[in-house]
Amino acid sequence: MSSEESGKKRYAPFIGLLEDYVGRSPLDFYSWGHIAFGIGAFAIFSLIITIYELIYITAAIMPWWWIMSFVIAVGIGWEIIENTLLWKLGVKYENRRDSFINAFFDILFVIGGGLAVWLLKWIIMDVMGQLGRWFYLSTIILFALVLIAYFIGFYITNKKTKQTRKDLGKIIS
């Protein structure tokens, strides 16, 4: 059995708390980064509508679901770029491609981040009738909180990996 065949049969938990499972498990600390990516993408694309409405002082022609369509397209495009171009350039995490399930979940997390901000926009601008500045301020705060979660996940993954390798060293020796 070649190393590739044995590598395909290795167990990968649902939540990758060790470096060995990053990019293979559906959830890892990069999942937080993909949520932040969806939040940022929706906020940036929503500027198309916001700026149009500021300049022309009328409702934008473009519906908000188009913004979500852009977020979905960017999420899928990013996964393709991440697992082809960035992988070939050798800048991918440990220079390995994501598993299909991880890439699929990464796209779902980008979409989830975009949907969360769309909900935030609906609550602030449509239900409460507030101006867009409160939406963008809330989005920046949400983005920062998700980035903090990303860094905490990165720290936990590295700490658990070091501890696990230390414990394995005791068992092996």
Q: Per-residue pLDDT for 11 more than 60?
A: yes
Segment 55-71 mean pLDDT: 87
Segment 10-16 mean pLDDT: 71
**Structure token digits, residue 130:** 């507030």
Quick one: which of 72, 70, 28 has its CA closest to 46?
70
pLDDT of residue 6: 47
For residues 7 and 91, the model is more confident at 91
For residues 170 and 73, the model is more confident at 73
pLDDT of residue 67: 94
pTM of the model: 0.82
- Identify any residues that bridge with 15 across adjacent strands, giving them in sequence order: 27
What is the DSSP track for 114-137?
A: HHHHHHHHIIIIIIS---HHHHHH
Q: Per-residue pLDDT for 168 more than 60?
A: yes
